[in-house]
């Protein structure tokens, strides 16, 4: 899949990045090579391959779901600029 220079200019504009005019051709070639590699990956037959989360069959060790800190809500609300009924009050930002 080849990508043209005008497409690079449009993508750069949408992404709000500046690409020098003399580099547009090189960027187009590099993106074309990347898209060609993606096409090769898409062509691979993966019908009998089971998805995996880790190639080493590693298992994530999880800690126990227990409370490890004390409730300090009152202390935090005592230093807050504005609190009402246990809720923090913040300035309105949208009319």
pLDDT, tens digit, 9 for 90 and up, residues 41-81: 999 999 998 888 778 878 888 999 999 999 999 999 999 99
Domain of 30, in residue numbers: 5-43
Number of compact structural domains in the chain: 1
Q: Is the pLDDT of residue 87 over 80?
A: yes
Task: Tell me whether residue 34 is in a domain.
Answer: yes
Count how many residues are written for the chain: 95
pTM of the entire structure?
A: 0.50
Is residue 25 a contact partner of residue 6, using CB atoms and an 8 Å limit? no
CATH of the domain at 23: 1.10.20
Q: Helix-strand-coil percent breakdown of the chain, rounded to 5?
A: 40, 5, 55
Give the pLDDT of residue 64.
Answer: 92
Task: Tell me whether residue 57 is in a domain.
Answer: no
């Amino acid at each position: 899949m080849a990508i043209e220079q005008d497409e690079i200019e449009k993508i750069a504009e949408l992404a709000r990045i500046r690409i020098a005019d003399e580099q547009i051709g090189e960027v187009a070639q590099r993106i074309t090579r990347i898209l060609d590699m993606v096409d090769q990956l898409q062509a691979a037959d993966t019908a009998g391959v089971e998805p995996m989360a880790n190639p080493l069959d590693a298992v994530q060790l999880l800690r126990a779901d227990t409370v490890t800190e004390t409730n300090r809500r009152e202390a935090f609300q005592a230093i807050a600029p504005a609190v009402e009924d246990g809720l923090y009050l913040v300035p309105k930002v949208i009319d």
